[in-house]
């Protein structure tokens, strides 16, 4: 198998919500959630890439931005 790369495109809302979730995941005992050690490397790579791409993570109104992104992504009933 080759080491070709895969590109995933996310909206800024998707990236922000996913980044927050990945941060929470990494703060837990990953072995309870991720039973294959090989999966940890891509989880950390994705989280790191999102951290670098999202200046909102350091904004003083981060919580409000995150909640607004969540609201926009939730399906309407």
Give the whole-angstrom CA distance, residue 35 versus residue 8. Answer: 24
Which is nearest to 14 in space by CA: 66, 77, 76, 75? 66
User: Does a structural domain hold residue 2?
Assistant: no
Instruction: Average the pLDDT over each of 16-20, 29-33, 45-49, 51-55 and give the range with the smallest value.
Output: 29-33
In a domain, 7, yes or no: no
Task: Check: CB of residue 34 under 8 Å from CB of residue 2.
Answer: no
Average pLDDT over the chain reads 89
Domain-embedded: residue 61: yes
Number of domains comprising the chain: 1
Query: Which domain does 46 fall in, by range?
Result: 12-72
Look at residue 1 in the predicted model and tell me its pLDDT.
59
Determine, yes or no, domain membership for 3.
no
The pTM score is: 0.83
């Amino acid at each position: 198998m080759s080491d070709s790369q895969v590109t995933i495109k996310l909206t800024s809302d998707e990236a922000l919500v996913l980044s927050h979730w990945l941060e929470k995941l990494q703060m837990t005992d990953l072995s309870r959630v991720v039973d294959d050690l090989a999966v940890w490397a891509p989880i950390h790579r994705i989280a790191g890439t999102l951290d670098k791409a999202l200046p909102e993570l350091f904004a003083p109104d981060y919580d409000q931005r995150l909640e607004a992104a969540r609201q926009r992504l939730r399906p309407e009933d």
